[in-house]
Structure 1
Amino acid sequence: MSLTPAFLDELRARTSLSALVGKTVKLTKAGREHKGCCPFHNEKTPSFYVNDDKGFYHCFGCSAHGDAIRWMTDQRGLPFIDAVKELAAAAGLEMPAQDKRAVQKAERAKSLHDVMQAAAEWFETQLGGLDGAEARALLERRGIAEATRRAFGIGYAPDSRSKLRTALRDFGDAMLIEAGLLIQVDGPTGPREPYDRFRGRLMIPIRDARGKVIAFGGRIIGEGEPKYLNSPDTPLFDKGRTLYNLDRASAAARKADRVFVVEGYMDAIALAQGGIAEAVAPLGTALTEHQIERLWRMVDVPTLCLDGDGAGQKAAVRAAHRALPLLQPGKSLSFVTLPDGQDPDDVMKKGGASAFEELARQPEALVDRLWKHELAAEPLVTPEQRAGLRARLRELANTIADKEVRLEYVAAFNTRLWDFSHPERPSQSFRTFDNGKRGKAPYQPVSERVLAISKAGIDQVTIVPALFRGLILYPDMIRPLSETLVRIPVNAIRLRQVRERLLDAALHEDALDSARVLTILRQDALEPVVKKLGEVTLAFSFLAHKAEPEQARRDLALVAEKLDVGPAIETEIAEARTRYSDGWNERDYEEYVRLLKAKQRMDEVFMDALLPDEAPAA
């Protein structure tokens, strides 16, 4: 099938976007557009607009943007080709012709969907019959309400080798086997009689993004193994690419801007029954790359909420390792650790949705989960063991394909390693200002000479080369400052290259001195940049000939912090002036004064790092 740009343009032209969106979002006329509350994030004041003339929607709150096809894929969760098919059918457009093999495959899939739907309906019927009494009792013990059971289509497979086969005989054994509903094994003289795969089990339909049944999960009634039995992979079902409850959770996840990944069907069902609809589950396997990428199509940072036992926590770490190579700016995972021995279903039963929300309120970042896991992997008493920790963290960071994210992880791990190795002088002690939240920073009165230099003006373009030259002179400061360094905006390409090489060298080499750093930079053809750095004339203590080492290191950290935090404070001050230009209330004015004081403290501490009587080091 070939979907030409002309066909897609015609499809968009024939689709009333406001009518399409209006099926699920309440829209009101606003001039030539329609507006409503955005379905992709929670809001009370409408900032979501639909423009039929231009054929797109846009949210001014979360920047969601797209056309009719994008609406079907992002809001409905449909694959691209299915979105096009549905829109084309509604618009009365014929889809471009498919080749013969594609047509046969589509017809086969349609027939298999019919089989699975018939099986789901039959299982539901059996749950209501005499044979389903024990299964109904199990649902009652698990606290599953009848409305929830109907919503999820839960049924029952009788403990028989042939009842399903008999009930669906019109489809033929071959199709029932292909759909994974029958099992056929070879005997000494040929294939044996096929028999029902699911017997004596509570049956939970597994649906695709469109809500079509593609597989089943069966939970044993009473004792027996395996406790859960899934359909095998079929033309409809690939367990490594499928997430349970995806069809119901997609819209809820986009609206709440979160999605929980739980361990099993019953956890997702229990959360949904308690009002938390944005939960999905992998299907008996560790979270796969395909599943992670599918989650990222819903939200930027899915939250893994696996069981609090050892197996659940190991699964969380496996998912973390699997996600690392795929990480992109803004795309990550977070983690919620449940009480030991409890799963989300247990939490909901004991404390309801409020108890679960309390646990989920502060999820753990991916970098923190990895750090804690590696820290607890073995004792860290000997130098060799500590070197092993450093090597493991380096190996983890190096698996990240995206360069910017990799550098951020290098910085984050280096900061934690510094704090672990120097508990008496953690890296946070260098942070003397942070929008005023850390209290008043200690500083000495600033001299008239320093104030004069301040008034003359020293801009960021001048300070950044001075900072990098200081790092070359004091390379032991690169690691503890790495997290700050990656946040500093550096416009010059060659200076950014210097920063990357400094961070990389600090990650891979334990004992760096200035000579080694200069050699590394020269090997990367950065000699001209190094020469220009040597021409910096600012009289910072860390550039002076006879600097006291501790003061130089402290001042180097202060200057790095100014470059990191300073622009943010300046922006907040400017925004406050604009926002309250028509008048101030008392609370707003106090906030504005706080920002000004934070800036003043920062400038004074920064200027204290200047030594007016010293010349820069050679």
Structure 2
Amino acid sequence: MSLSPQWLDELRSRITLSSVIQRTTRLTKAGREFKACCPFHNEKSPSFYVNDEKGFYHCFGCGVHGDAIRWMTDQRGLGFMDAVKELAAEAGLDVPAPDPRAAEAAVQRDSLHDVTAAAQKWFMDCLAAPEGEKARAYLATRGFDAHTVQRFGFGFAPEGRQALKGALGQFPEDKLIEAGLRITVDDKEPYDRFRGRLMLPIEDARGRVIAFGGRILDKSKTDAPKYLNSPDTPLFDKGRTLYNLHRAGPASRQTGRLIVVEGYMDVIALAAAGFGESVAPLGTALTERQIEMVWRLVETPILCFDGDAAGQRAAMRAIARALPLLRPAHSLRIVRLPSGLDPDDLIKRDGPRAMEEVLQGARSLIDTLWDHERDALPLNTPEDKAGLKARLLAHVETIADPDIKSLYRRELLDRFAAFAYPAREQRPQSNWQPGGSSRGSGNWKDKRRAFPANPANNHSARLLRVANGGARDALSAAILTGLIRYPAEIARHADALARCTDIEARFDLLLDACDHGQALESDALATILARQGQTLPSPSDYSGMRFGFLSPDMAAPQACAELAQAIELLVERPALETALADATERLNREFTDEAYAEQQRLLKRKLEFNARLGQMASARAALSSDDATNTMAE
């Protein structure tokens, strides 16, 4: 079997060499490396070193040298393919099927590396030549010093459609085209892709030039793209490449973080300011493959996006792609720069310390997701708020990991409930004393207006007592009993139940069992409640409300349908009671016909709610005869 060098490089990049070696050899941390007594010869003091950044081991005593594959063959005694297969399984890579054309393709790629290396040298020579003066002047305006220019390999592509071909005449035309340096259109003469541009080499994980990016210098060319990258080639796949990864990897091991920005000029600006652990995608939004790449370096990289609308759209695209990939301890943090600024702008305006403060304030993925969806559209009506909930749950449904999905769902629903159904403040009791007049004359304490002493308002007070009767605990206890009797209904009504955990805390335990895949059986649920110090509801908890779904004689489908109706009532009640309490408080403040009418309307609606509840039960708590009489009169 012939394995391509590119695939083998991918395998090596996914393996942490020290973790492989320390399974059989004890390693000791020594600065940025590990050391040990060499396993290949006898020695008393360690001269065997392992370098994860460069991906090789070396013994200064016996001269042995190699990578992860060589370790498996020489130290473990495995054959080459056996070593590759074992490492590939660990890295999550599929070993390519045998392909007789692989060797030929590998030779082809090697020759393309020669082409890109030669092009890079020529671009750098052009920058230093008189024709590169304009490019050098631009670099000076960006504040890049000579060290930064040399470190990142800046170059210049002169004007002229055939300039590069003339400079790289040792390579055939088809190689220049295949490397993405020349363009051919139909039967016309090929021409240079990069002309009159400041050039940057794009390198792979081993630091080899595989492509180029060019920034236009002539502002009058408004029809030309500002930035131009190489096309995909046998060397370069923009969705599987991160700019500056080979430098940022070692830097991230020192700082413990990795910064992902939008473009390579942002990377260079950050590196020049001391933030060497920065990478960027190449002309595309961050891909799933690139997210996996950064997770191999740090568990929670920071995504840093420009403060404009385009930057925020890029952030949400990255979040949407990351959600299905989330796994324990691996996530993203998000930085939003001040409006209209990119990293270079911020550093030039306020200095590196300001950038560091922004990075320190990076927000979690779930915080960013919540803020974005909450602020995406107006939330003025119940329908608007329902739309927010639907968008949040749609994001949650994309998460593959069941534990993370459950936790995201619970957290976002809690936030939604706090936003859409804010807790009522404790409302002071009315200090009105009997005997006062309907327009404020009489015995008032602290001058707070409430129900005047007339028959209509005595009626209002009685209605309010009826509306706020003690059915809340009874209904929730009956529903809890029904859920334990029909456990499959928990998942079906999970969203509704999550909104009622403040009414009945035991719902939360049932939802946890459902979300974590525990056995949803009646006996198992009873055990779960008992372990948490909770008791099962007893018939006395819902006395006088004998629901059909609690009857052993009712068929399961009908019982589940009635249970669903009861849950709907339990969810509906808090909003109705909140509105009624608000109307009553308003009536206490200002006794007007309008306030009185609104309170009476809500009282009637609450009584209608109670009637619906009564229709579901075979018996319900009886009203007092006076209250019943007044209800009929109303």
Aligned ranges for residues 269-308 of structure 1 at < 5 Å? 269-308=268-307
2:193 aligned to 194, 197, 202, which one? 197
User: Do the aligned partners of residues 54 and 337 (structure 1) sit closer, same or farther apart at CA in structure 2, a change above 3 Å counting?
Assistant: farther
Output one character per residue of 1:236-263: Cα deviation in whole Å (capped at 9) or x when no partner: 0000111111111111112211111111
User: Do the aligned partners of residues 510 and 388 (structure 1) sit closer, same or farther apart at CA in structure 2, a change above 3 Å counting?
Assistant: farther
Contact 1:159–1:199, Cα closer than 8 Å, also in 2: yes
User: Do the aligned partners of residues 538 and 406 (structure 1) sit closer, same or farther apart at CA in structure 2, a change above 3 Å counting?
Assistant: closer
Match in the other structure for 2:615? none
User: Do the aligned partners of residues 331 and 543 (structure 1) sit closer, same or farther apart at CA in structure 2, a change above 3 Å counting?
Assistant: farther
User: Do the aligned partners of residues 219 and 425 (structure 1) sit closer, same or farther apart at CA in structure 2, a change above 3 Å counting?
Assistant: farther
Q: Once the 2 structures are TM-superposed, how far is the Cα of residue 159 of structure 1 from its aligned partner?
A: 1.2
User: Do the aligned partners of residues 410 and 472 (structure 1) sit closer, same or farther apart at CA in structure 2, a change above 3 Å counting?
Assistant: farther
Match in the other structure for 2:206? 210
The DSSP-based 3-state class of the residue aligned with 1:170 is coil
Matching residue's letter, 1:125: D
User: Do the aligned partners of residues 83 and 116 (structure 1) sit closer, same or farther apart at CA in structure 2, a change above 3 Å counting?
Assistant: farther
Match in the other structure for 1:395? 394
Output one character per residue of 1:327-378: Cα deviation in whole Å (capped at 9) or x when no partner: 1011111111111111001112122221110111121110011111111121
Aligned ranges for residues 5-404 of structure 1 at < 5 Å? 34-37=28-31, 50=36, 52-53=38-39, 83-84=67-68, 100-186=100-186, 191-223=187-219, 224=221, 225-404=224-403
Task: Give the Cα separation in 1 of the matches to 2:497 and 2:338.
Answer: 40
Q: Once the 2 structures are TM-superposed, how far is the Cα of residue 411 of structure 1 from its aligned partner?
A: 1.4
The DSSP-based 3-state class of the residue aligned with 2:212 is strand
Contact 1:394–1:508, Cα closer than 8 Å, also in 2: no
Q: Once the 2 structures are TM-superposed, how far is the Cα of residue 308 of structure 1 from its aligned partner?
A: 0.8
Task: Give the Cα separation in 2 of the matches to 1:2 and 1:238.
Answer: 21
Match in the other structure for 1:507? 495
Contact 1:126–1:132, Cα closer than 8 Å, also in 2: yes
Task: Give the Cα separation in 2 of the matches to 1:470 and 1:296.
Answer: 50
Match in the other structure for 2:522? 527
Q: Once the 2 structures are TM-superposed, how far is the Cα of residue 53 of structure 1 from its aligned partner?
A: 4.2
Contact 2:152–2:200, Cα closer than 8 Å, also in 1: yes
Matching residue's letter, 1:351: D
Q: Once the 2 structures are TM-superposed, how far is the Cα of residue 126 of structure 1 from its aligned partner?
A: 0.4
Task: Give the Cα separation in 2 of the matches to 1:131 and 1:525.
Answer: 76
User: Do the aligned partners of residues 542 and 238 (structure 1) sit closer, same or farther apart at CA in structure 2, a change above 3 Å counting?
Assistant: same
User: Do the aligned partners of residues 74 and 472 (structure 1) sit closer, same or farther apart at CA in structure 2, a change above 3 Å counting?
Assistant: farther
Contact 1:410–1:507, Cα closer than 8 Å, also in 2: no
Task: Give the Cα separation in 2 of the matches to 1:281 and 1:262.
Answer: 5
Task: Give the Cα separation in 2 of the matches to 1:239 and 1:301.
Answer: 22
The DSSP-based 3-state class of the residue aligned with 1:219 is strand
User: Do the aligned partners of residues 36 and 218 (structure 1) sit closer, same or farther apart at CA in structure 2, a change above 3 Å counting?
Assistant: same
Q: Once the 2 structures are TM-superposed, how far is the Cα of residue 539 of structure 1 from its aligned partner?
A: 7.9
Task: Give the Cα separation in 2 of the matches to 1:207 and 1:346.
Answer: 26
Q: Once the 2 structures are TM-superposed, how far is the Cα of residue 425 of structure 1 from its aligned partner?
A: 5.8
User: Do the aligned partners of residues 418 and 33 (structure 1) sit closer, same or farther apart at CA in structure 2, a change above 3 Å counting?
Assistant: closer
Q: Once the 2 structures are TM-superposed, how far is the Cα of residue 106 of structure 1 from its aligned partner?
A: 1.2
Task: Give the Cα separation in 1 of the matches to 2:521 and 2:190.
Answer: 71
User: Do the aligned partners of residues 535 and 121 (structure 1) sit closer, same or farther apart at CA in structure 2, a change above 3 Å counting?
Assistant: closer
User: Do the aligned partners of residues 296 and 538 (structure 1) sit closer, same or farther apart at CA in structure 2, a change above 3 Å counting?
Assistant: closer
Match in the other structure for 2:460? none
Task: Give the Cα separation in 2 of the matches to 1:107 and 1:221.
Answer: 36
Matching residue's letter, 1:218: G
Matching residue's letter, 1:323: A
Matching residue's letter, 2:216: I
Contact 1:407–1:503, Cα closer than 8 Å, also in 2: no
Task: Give the Cα separation in 1 of the matches to 2:35 and 2:539.
Answer: 59
The DSSP-based 3-state class of the residue aligned with 2:200 is strand
Percent identity over the alignment is 46
Task: Give the Cα separation in 2 of the matches to 1:183 and 1:126.
Answer: 21
Q: Once the 2 structures are TM-superposed, how far is the Cα of residue 103 of structure 1 from its aligned partner?
A: 1.7
Q: Which has the higher contact order (CA 8 A, sep 6+)?
A: 1
Task: Give the Cα separation in 1 of the matches to 2:193 and 2:382.
Answer: 56
Output one character per residue of 1:162-197: Cα deviation in whole Å (capped at 9) or x when no partner: 0101111211100000000000001xxxx2111000
Contact 2:2–2:103, Cα closer than 8 Å, also in 1: no
Contact 1:261–1:280, Cα closer than 8 Å, also in 2: yes
Contact 2:417–2:499, Cα closer than 8 Å, also in 1: no
Output one character per residue of 1:252-294: Cα deviation in whole Å (capped at 9) or x when no partner: 1122111111111111001111111000011111111011111
Match in the other structure for 2:407? 408
The DSSP-based 3-state class of the residue aligned with 2:240 is coil
Contact 1:33–1:52, Cα closer than 8 Å, also in 2: no
Q: Once the 2 structures are TM-superposed, how far is the Cα of residue 381 of structure 1 from its aligned partner?
A: 1.8
Contact 2:258–2:277, Cα closer than 8 Å, also in 1: yes
Contact 2:373–2:391, Cα closer than 8 Å, also in 1: yes
Contact 2:55–2:68, Cα closer than 8 Å, also in 1: no
Task: Give the Cα separation in 2 of the matches to 1:253 and 1:470.
Answer: 58
Contact 1:411–1:503, Cα closer than 8 Å, also in 2: no
- Equivalenced residue count is 433
Task: Give the Cα separation in 2 of the matches to 1:535 and 1:304.
Answer: 44
Task: Give the Cα separation in 1 of the matches to 2:532 and 2:128.
Answer: 86
Matching residue's letter, 1:394: L
The DSSP-based 3-state class of the residue aligned with 2:238 is coil
Contact 2:269–2:344, Cα closer than 8 Å, also in 1: yes
Task: Give the Cα separation in 1 of the matches to 2:416 and 2:388.
Answer: 9
The TM-score normalised by the length of structure 1 is 0.62
Q: Once the 2 structures are TM-superposed, how far is the Cα of residue 102 of structure 1 from its aligned partner?
A: 2.0
Task: Give the Cα separation in 1 of the matches to 2:170 and 2:184.
Answer: 18
Q: Once the 2 structures are TM-superposed, how far is the Cα of residue 307 of structure 1 from its aligned partner?
A: 0.8
Contact 1:245–1:281, Cα closer than 8 Å, also in 2: yes
The TM-score normalised by the length of structure 2 is 0.60
User: Do the aligned partners of residues 145 and 406 (structure 1) sit closer, same or farther apart at CA in structure 2, a change above 3 Å counting?
Assistant: same
Task: Give the Cα separation in 1 of the matches to 2:27 and 2:240.
Answer: 38
Matching residue's letter, 1:36: A
User: Do the aligned partners of residues 51 and 336 (structure 1) sit closer, same or farther apart at CA in structure 2, a change above 3 Å counting?
Assistant: farther
User: Do the aligned partners of residues 37 and 502 (structure 1) sit closer, same or farther apart at CA in structure 2, a change above 3 Å counting?
Assistant: farther
User: Do the aligned partners of residues 90 and 532 (structure 1) sit closer, same or farther apart at CA in structure 2, a change above 3 Å counting?
Assistant: closer
Matching residue's letter, 2:365: L
Task: Give the Cα separation in 2 of the matches to 1:176 and 1:214.
Answer: 13
